[in-house]
Chains A and B, each alone.
Chain A
Amino acid sequence: MVFLAEGGIGALGINLPSLIAQLINFTLLLLILGWAFKRFLFPLLDERRNRIREGLDAADESKRRLAETETATAAEMEKARGEGQGLIGQAQQMSARIQEEAQGAARAEAETLLERARSEIQLERDAAIADLRREFADLTITAAERVIRRSLDRKAHRELIEEVLAEAPQGGEGGDNQR
C-alpha cells in the first residue's frame, strides 16, 4: 500500500481503514434514505400528484359543464323569451278580441236598452194620452153637466165620448191638431 503510505498521499490523511469506514458509513445512509424515499416519499408524491391531477381534471370538467350549462341556459332563456313574446302577442290579440267582443256586446245591450226604453216611453206616452183622454172626457162631462145642470148617465156619455175619440185621429198622427 505504497499509495496510502505515510510518506505518500497518506500524508494528506488518506488511509484505507478510514476510507472503508466512510464508504460503509455513507453506503448505509444511502441504503436507509433510498429505502425511505421508495417506501414513503415516492408513493406520497405520486398520490399527491394524482390527487392534484384529479382535482385539476375535475375543475376542468366542472368548467366545461358550467360552460355547457351556461350555453344551454342561454338557449333556454332565448327560447323562453321567444315563447313569452309569442304568449304576450297572443294575449294582446286575445285581449283586443275580448275588448272588441265586450264593446260589441255592450253596444248591443245598449241598443237593446235604448230600444226597450223607447218602447217603455211609447207605452208611457200612450198610457198618458189615454189618461189624458179619460180626464178630458170626465172634465167635458162635468162641464156639460154643469152647463145643462142635469146629470147625465155617466156611462152612456163616456161611451159616447170614447167613440168620438176613437174616430178622432190618433195621438202620433194628429196629436198636434188635437191639442
Chain B
Amino acid sequence: MRLSRGRLTAVGLVVLALLGFVFLRGPTPAISIKAETIQSFGPVDVTNTMLTSWIVVIIIVAIVYLGTRRRDLVPRGFQNMFEAALEAFYNLVVSVAGEKSGRRFFPVVATIFFFVLVSNWLSLFPVFNVIGLVREDDHGFVMEQTDVGPLPLSWVALSGPGNLSADSIDEDDADAEEQAAAARKDGKIVGELIPLFRGPNTDLNTPLSLAIVSAIAVESWAIASLGIGYGKKFFNFGGMFRGLRRLDFGLLFRGVIDAFVGFLELVSELVRLISFTFRLFGNMFAGEVLILMFTFLTPLVFTIVFYGLELFVGIIQAFIFAVLTLVFGMMAVAHGEAHAAEGEHEEGSRAMAPEAQS
C-alpha cells in the first residue's frame, strides 16, 4: 500500500507528538504572575523580566547601530531591511498624524512599537522559562544534579513510558517534606526553577512603565501644542464661576456640566493607563502560559501552532500599543486645536455682540 506524501507527513507528526508526549514531558509548570527575582541589591530586586528587557534594549540599540552605520543613499543588505521597516512605520505615522506632528510623535511611537515587538518575539525563544537558577525548597521540581567544574548543574530528567511526567512535588501536598527528603536521599535536588529569561511584557511593571511613558508623551505633546490652556480640558471651572458671578442659572448649569466633563476626561486618562497596561500584560502573559501548558501537555508538534499564534499576537499587540499612543496624541493635539478655535469663535461673538447692541 502506497502512502501519499501528505499521509506520511501526518503519520510522522503523530509519531513525533507521541514520542514527545512519552519522553519529553516536563514537570507541571509553576506559573507565577510576579516576575521572579534573580538577585537582590538592597531594595532593588533584579528580576528575570528586567534582565530580559535589558537584553531587548541591547538588541535594539545594536540593530539601530548596524542599520545606521553606513547610511548609504542607496541602501543595501541590512541597512535596506532596517530602513524599509522603519520607513514603513514612519509612513504609517505620517499618514495618520501628518508630516509635522508625525515627525514629533515618531520617536516615541516607534520606540514603543519596536520595544514591545522585540520583547514579545524574543520571549518565544526556547531558552525562555526553561533555563534558570534553582532555589532549593521542600516543593517544586525534582532534579538531577552534577558539578561542571566549580558550577553545580541541575536538570529535570526525561520522562519515559513508566513515568509520563517528570517528577515534581506540589506545595499543597501534605507529605511534601517527606517526598523532598526522600528525593534528596537519592541524590536529587528539590526546588523551584527561577527562569533567567522571561518576556518583559509578562511582568505588569513593564506594560505599566510603557503606559506611563505613553501618557507622559501624549500630555507633553498636547501642552507643547496648546500651552497651559490644555489643563482646561480637565479642570474647566470657568463657566461655573461665571454663572455664579452673574447669577445666571443656565450658565451655571453649563459650567457644572463642563466641570464634570473635565473630571470624566481626567478619569479616562487614568483608565487609559490601566487599559494600556492590562491589555498588553494580559495578552502576553496568557500567551506565555498557553505555550508553557502546551509544552507540558504535548511537547512536540502541537505547540508549533501556538508559537505561530504568538508571533501574530506579538506584532498585533505592539502595533496596538504604538498606534493607540499615536491616536491619543493626535486626539490631544486636535482637542486643543478645536478648543482654541472655539475660544476664538467665542471671542469673535463677544466682540460682535456690543457692536450689535450699539
Contacts and interface: CB of A to CB of B under 8 A. Distances in A.
Interface residues of A, number: 31
A26 B205 contact: no
B61 A15 contact: no
B44 A21 contact: yes
A27 interface: yes
Interface string B183-209: 000000000000000001001111011
Contacts of B210: 26
Interface string A13-31: 1110111011101111110
Contacts of A45: 87, 90
Contacts of B47: 18
A29 B60 contact: yes
B254 interface: no
Given A13-B34, A13-B35, A41-B86, A32 B204 contact: no
Interface in B45-76: 45, 47, 49-50, 53-54, 57, 60-61, 64, 68, 71, 73
Contact of B107 (A11, A28, A37): A37
Nearest to B69: A40
A154 interface: no
Contacts of B213: 23, 26-27, 30
Contact of A15 (B53, B115, B205): B205
Nearest to A27: B213
Interface string A61-92: 00000000000000000000000000000000
Contact of A21 (B50, B60, B68): B50
B53 A12 contact: no
A37 B102 CA distance: 13
Nearest to B43: A17
Nearest to A35: B107
Nearest to A29: B57
Taking each of A13, A25, A42, which has the highest tally of chain B beta carbons within 10 Å of its own beta carbon?
A13
Contacts of A146: none
B143 interface: no
Contacts of B86: 41
B145 interface: no
Contacts of B44: 17, 21
B209 A19 contact: yes
A27 B212 CA distance: 11
9 contacts: A14-B208, A17-B43, A25-B50, A26-B111, A29-B57, A30-B111, A36-B64, A37-B106, A42-B103
Closest 9 CB pairs of A and B: A13-B34, A34-B107, A22-B209, A40-B68, A18-B205, A23-B209, A19-B205, A30-B111, A17-B44
